[in-house]
Chain A
Amino acid sequence: MAMGVSRTTSPAPAPPARADDRDPARLPIATADRAFEALGAACAILLGLVLVGVTAAVLLLARPSIARFGAAFVVGRTWDPVSGELGALPFLYGTAVTSAVALVLAVPVGLGVALFQSDLGPPALRRPIGVVVDLLAAIPSVVYGLWGALVLAPVLREIVEPALETYLGSLALFRGPKLGLGLLCAGLVLAIMILPTIATIAREVLRAVPTELREGGLALGATRWEVVRRIVLPHARSGITGAVLLGFGRAVGETMAVAMVVGSRAEIGSSLFAPGYTLSSVLANEFSHATSELHVAALAELGLILFVVSLAFNVGARLLVARAARRATSTTAMVAPR
């Protein structure tokens, strides 16, 4: 987050006084420094311990399920808590599909918003657009869920899904009973929710592209589109990929809104209209009422899978964003991914 702060710490305005010149009641500066350092280290270690502790606790909870199902858990297609036959594949499928739908919709729009703010839009409009995007990020996810279930789902059922079937019905993706709630609805809600993540980070990455490059392109007679297409976007590519991955990570982990609109069926179908289930939403729905030890353990194992997937995407994304920031020569470039 605050990488590079050490480079920029400003020197004290007065010339640094020697320790023995100072108020004798003060702690010697070296002691204070050491104490502060130790405090910081303790906080950092604590954070690491929390991460390890959480992982260990979930792993412990998941043990009966890991022992019972082994690797077959990940490819098991049935989720039946009553009979004790439990497999994770429907949730992996649902998570992948809803996140993919969200990305397909949110990436072009998010990138468009970011480009509008960094290169294309009139300066007077750039800031208001940024504020709107930030506001979108401030809406609690349960509100998105409510909106999705009460407003979006009927619209999908009555208008969007019949239209999709009419025009794209030759694809199995856009056929089937139209319920409103389902993978498509969850994907749409997620798209809106990850839009701010993608747009804000992409904007920072694009702004970090040195002005000299843009000006050079323009001086050579390139149009604004050519500058964006040939200079800005290629330069910011890894940062944008990072933004997309962070958005994906958020879509994978999003729980409440998805639980309210995904339709909650642990099944793998071919249609986007069909209800599905995601890793995080099944945890939210079933954990409090899971009675058998095996059911609890299987849910914990789903949690573990979710944890690993989200961690992988977050680490990957952060590496890419950091690389993009390093590549940018501009000193103002510092991305603070949330």
Chain B
Amino acid sequence: MTRAGFALVIGLLSAALAVLGLCIGSTGLESLRQMAGDATAMQIVRDIRLPRTLGAWLAGALLGLGGALAQGLFRNPLADPYLLGSASGANLGVSLLLVALGASPGSGGWAARLGTTGAAFVGALLAVAVTLSLARGVQQTLRLLLAGVVVSMVLGATAAMVVLWVPDIMRAMQAFILGTTAFLGWPSVALLGGALLVCLLPAIGLARALDALALGEASALSLGIALPWVRLALVAALALATGAAVAQVGLVAFVGLVAPHLVRGIVKPTHGWLVFLAALMGGALLLAADVLARWLLAPQELPVGGVTALLGGGYLLWLMHRRRL
């Protein structure tokens, strides 16, 4: 399959899933049918299902993009977008926020204004900043990788301690860790869309450097690539993409790791195409998971994070079985 053809296929698939996304929910097709005459039905379709559908796609695209960038930057097919500590940073941020909210009921205060989204975003970016400062910049890949692992461990353990001390927040934390697309509104869609645009442009623009990097650092340097700046820009894009996605939908697992592999299993792209196609693939994957999560047990819902792993992992296993990988 050609790359453009593949992009078209995933694009069409996403569009079909989006239409399904408008039809599926706790009230089913009823809301869609009554939309013309009924303000509540209209609100359900226009202000709940539509932003949720678009938001799920955008968050998945950000994670897919992050995965492709991480795997290219670290030249490691096991790299995922949470590698620099953003997931555990977000985790800790949210747990501290929940403690602050519980500690002072009655005060609107900074904690309520920051919200889960803000806390997760700040936590994710701070964690990446700590990783970068521990690694003394982005130049040594191994150091960066190691710093990321250490920061993930330490922040993850701290978050676990916080939950242990304040068991009240356990249920809320569990919901955040599983990830959910249920609370996405139009402001979230705008934020996610903006973040995708800001990350996708430099990622595609600098993808030739990732191609060169695949040959080894020395080769990349000898090809005249300003490796320090390129790496910095790509790490920034990775951190922003992951932070934005995690803040809006929680710690949705696996999309970032699996999306680039799914792309590579079907076409053999250069990094420019890979980054673009992995974003499309991630979007389609998370949207499909979201639609399934809403549909399988309707009117109840499954946690979308669990469905992603089943869907993406199942497909990857099938690809591996057919020796396409």
Instruction: Indicate, yes or no, whether A interacts with B.
Output: no
